[in-house]
Structure 1
Amino acid sequence: MIGLIGKKIGMAQIFLENGNVIPVSLIKAGPCSVIQIKDEKKDGYKAIQLGFGEKKKINKSFSGHLKKAKLKSVDRLFEIRTKEPGKYSIGDKIDVSIFSNGDKVLVTGWTKGRGFAGGMKRWGWHGGPASHGSTSHRRAGSIGPGTAPGRIWKGRAMPGRYGNERVTLKNVKVVKIEKEKNIVYVKGGVPGAINSYLLIMKEE
């Protein structure tokens, strides 16, 4: 795999040559620097570590980690597993030129965090009666199987923390690339809020 770290800019529409309109997500991807190269002998697996963005303040240990790549700071680090890490060198720059129109990519991100949510929002329950006399419009209702087994099964859909989960979308189509601005247009929506970080990967 090879890929880039990016930031979600927002969404827009694009007209295709046949006149159809499709929704697209705009991602500012890269350029990313190769910070570290991992191999099986030393680390037990093959991967490259990429850095993206800039941060105002970093601690000394992180600053030392970036010295070999001759970088002062980066905002985000991600590792990407690759079969041939040897073809990269520390300090190499990777940009949107690794992608082309029509590529199918993986997009990994974190969904919007919604805090503690009820069953109707979290699981799409229909809720109780909406009439005036009802006292349980949005309550859970019965959740238990009764005397046997006398407990709630693990994994039961219940109210709880909703969102802020790592999600990977597969077979996302690259529609357009703006190399000058380092922007990748992909078909449809991608996880997370505007300005959230994403990882875009494709097979080498």
Structure 2
Amino acid sequence: MTQIFDDDGTVVPVTVIEAGPCTVLLSRSAGRDGYDAIQVGYRDKPRRLASRSVRGQVVKLESKRAKKRSHAGIEMVAKADCEPQRFVREFRGETKAQVGQKITVAVFEGCDAVDVIGVSKGRGTAGVMKRHGFSGQRATHGVKKVHRHQGGTGMCQSPGRLFKGKKMAGRMG
């Protein structure tokens, strides 16, 4: 997150979105594939790092199979004619995007809010100080080897159990 200032000096918190340019790699149709969708690629990948099958998705490659299909009159799928892409995702639904077309952040122009879903960074098993921001225990005055522990859980004979949602160490991310 960052912030911008209005004309009257008011601070407005904003989130910067990096979206594109993305390339439409493939267009699926209900007639040929059974459903409508587009395949979108993001961030170029060097050709030397891409496998032959990945390169064949974006550029027409010569092969025996392609020659046989063209002689038989089978229509080949349109290629995007771009570099191989590092990230490829498919979005279902009817669209008017053509293969090879660039999709930029201008798509969001006029939107007030954008709903973004992401994957958090996995941090493995974390203690309560890292996971929940606990302050830990004293460094001295009788505390031995438990400086980063949570301390007491707050339960005794009644109710004799821990309530759900108790902040403890565990998997984070």
**TM-score, normalized by length of structure 2?**
0.63
Other-structure match for 1:91 = 100
Q: Which residue of 2 aligns with 1:168?
A: none
The count of aligned residue pairs is 147
Q: Which has the higher contact order (CA 8 A, sep 6+)?
A: 1
Would you say 1:70 and 2:70 are equivalent positions? no
Q: 2:51 maps to which residue?
A: 59
Of stretches 58-67 and 21-30 in structure 1, the one that deviates more from structure 2 is 21-30
1:122 to 117, 120, 131: 131
Which residue is 1:193 aligned to?
Answer: none
Flag the structure with higher helix content. 2
Amino acid at match of 1:162: M
Which structure has the greater CA radius of gyration? 2
Consecutive unaligned residues in structure 2, runs of 5 or more: 60-78, 157-161
TM-score of the pair, normalised by structure 1? 0.55
For residues 138 and 42 of structure 1, the distance between their equivalents in structure 2, rounded to whole angstroms, comes to 60
Give the C-alpha shift of residue 139 in structure 1: 1.9
- Structure 1: segments with no counterpart, 5+ residues: 1-10, 147-151, 164-204
Q: Given that residues 25 and 39 in structure 2 are in contact (C-alpha distance below 8 angstroms), is that contact kept between their aligned partners in structure 1? A: yes
When residues 142 and 25 of structure 1 are mapped into structure 2, their CA distance, relative to the original with a 3 A threshold, is: same
The yes-or-no answer on 1:134 pairing with 2:152 is no
Counterparts of 2:55 and 2:17, CA distance in 1: 27
CA–CA distance in structure 1, aligned partners of residues 33 and 53 of structure 2: 19
- Match for 1:24 among 11, 14, 19? 14
Q: CA RMSD in A?
A: 3.6
Q: Is the 8 A contact 2:24 2:38 kept in 1?
A: yes
Q: Find the residue that maps to 1:23 and give its secondary structure.
A: strand
Pick closer, same or farther for the CA change 1:142–1:64 going to 2, 3 Å: farther
Q: Deviations over 1:108-166 (max 9, x none)?
A: 333344454212211344544565212323225577x99xxxxx999976534433xxx
For the residue of structure 2 that corresponds to 1:35, the secondary structure is strand
Bigger mean CA deviation after superposition, 116-125 or 42-51: 42-51
Once the two structures are TM-superposed, the CA of residue 92 in structure 1 deviates from its matched residue by 1.9
Q: Is the 8 A contact 2:18 2:105 kept in 1?
A: no
**Partners in 1 of 2:150 and 2:28 — Cα distance?**
49
Do the aligned partners of residues 162 and 38 (structure 1) sit closer, same or farther apart at CA in structure 2, a change above 3 Å counting?
Answer: farther
